[in-house]
Structure formats: structure tokens, C-alpha cells
């Protein structure tokens, strides 16, 4: 975690969540995952992670394939159920890479997501229209 900026992440754009929502719907019932890039404290871009494997119970991320890029602040992934609480495996992944993580649960809309820190503690991010 020492490689990442300590800049506070204030929010996430509706555009990022909408793009992710469409990808999660396409992958359903498998999980879908991507990296997230911040610009000026706002999560503004999705980063596809080469080698990611999506399945019905998990998405396997090849985090080592991400470039060394300090603006990539964490990962976003889907849960094919209405439960957006992180699993034990999610928290392990959170601790391996980044400092902000988002889970978007079924039905993959702008009301079915939550943000977490690297330990699994809920974060309050503003939705930027």
C-alpha cells in the first residue's frame, strides 16, 4: 500500500458506475471486475485488467498485469446477488491492491453499490453526476 498516493478519494462518477453496470449485466451470472483510476480525487475511469477470469462465484484478478500507475486506486467488481457486503476473499483482495474498492450487486444499478477501504471498512463516496 505504500506505493499509492494518500490523496483522499471523494467520489465516483455516475459514468464509471454506468459503464461498469452494463459490463456486469453482460457478464451476469458471472462476476465482472476492473481496476479504477482517480483523477483529482474522483474515480473517473475503469481499467480492464488483462487475464481476469470471470466466474459464477468469483472473478480472478491478475493484479500483477496492471501497469505501475499510482492513479489506479483499487478494483470494482460485481456480485451476482443483491448482497454487496464483501466476502472474506474480497477483503483479502482489497488488502493486496489499492485503497478504494467498490462492489456493485445485482441488479447492477446506481443504488446497488458500496465502497470499502483496503480492510473492508465501508467508505462514503459521493456519486458525481
Contact 74, 97 (CB under 8 A): yes
Catalytic residue chosen out of the listed positions 31, 38, 89, 129: 31
Where does the chain have alpha helices with state H?
Answer: 14-27, 88-96
Contact 16, 125 (CB under 8 A): no
Catalytic (active site) residue 31: yes
Dihedral of the alpha carbons of 12, 24, 71, 5, in degrees to the nearest 10: 70
Q: Which three cell numbers stand for residue 64?
A: 500483477
Residues with catalytic roles: 31
Amino acid at each position: 500500500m505504500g506505493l499509492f498516493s494518500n490523496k483522499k478519494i471523494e467520489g465516483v462518477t455516475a459514468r464509471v458506475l454506468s459503464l461498469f453496470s452494463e459490463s456486469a449485466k453482460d457478464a451476469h451470472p458471472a462476476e465482472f471486475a476492473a481496476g479504477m483510476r482517480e483523477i483529482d480525487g474522483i474515480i473517473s475511469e475503469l481499467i480492464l485488467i488483462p487475464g481476469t477470469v470471470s466466474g459464477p462465484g468469483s472473478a480472478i484478478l491478475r493484479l500483477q498485469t496492471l501497469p505501475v500507475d499510482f492513479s489506479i486506486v483499487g478494483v470494482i467488481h460485481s456480485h451476482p446477488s443483491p448482497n454487496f457486503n464483501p466476502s472474506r476473499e474480497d477483503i483479502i483482495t482489497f488488502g493486496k491492491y489499492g485503497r478504494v474498492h467498490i462492489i456493485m450487486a445485482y441488479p447492477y444499478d446506481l443504488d446497488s453499490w458500496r465502497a470499502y477501504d483496503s480492510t473492508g471498512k465501508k467508505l462514503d463516496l459521493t456519486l458525481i453526476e
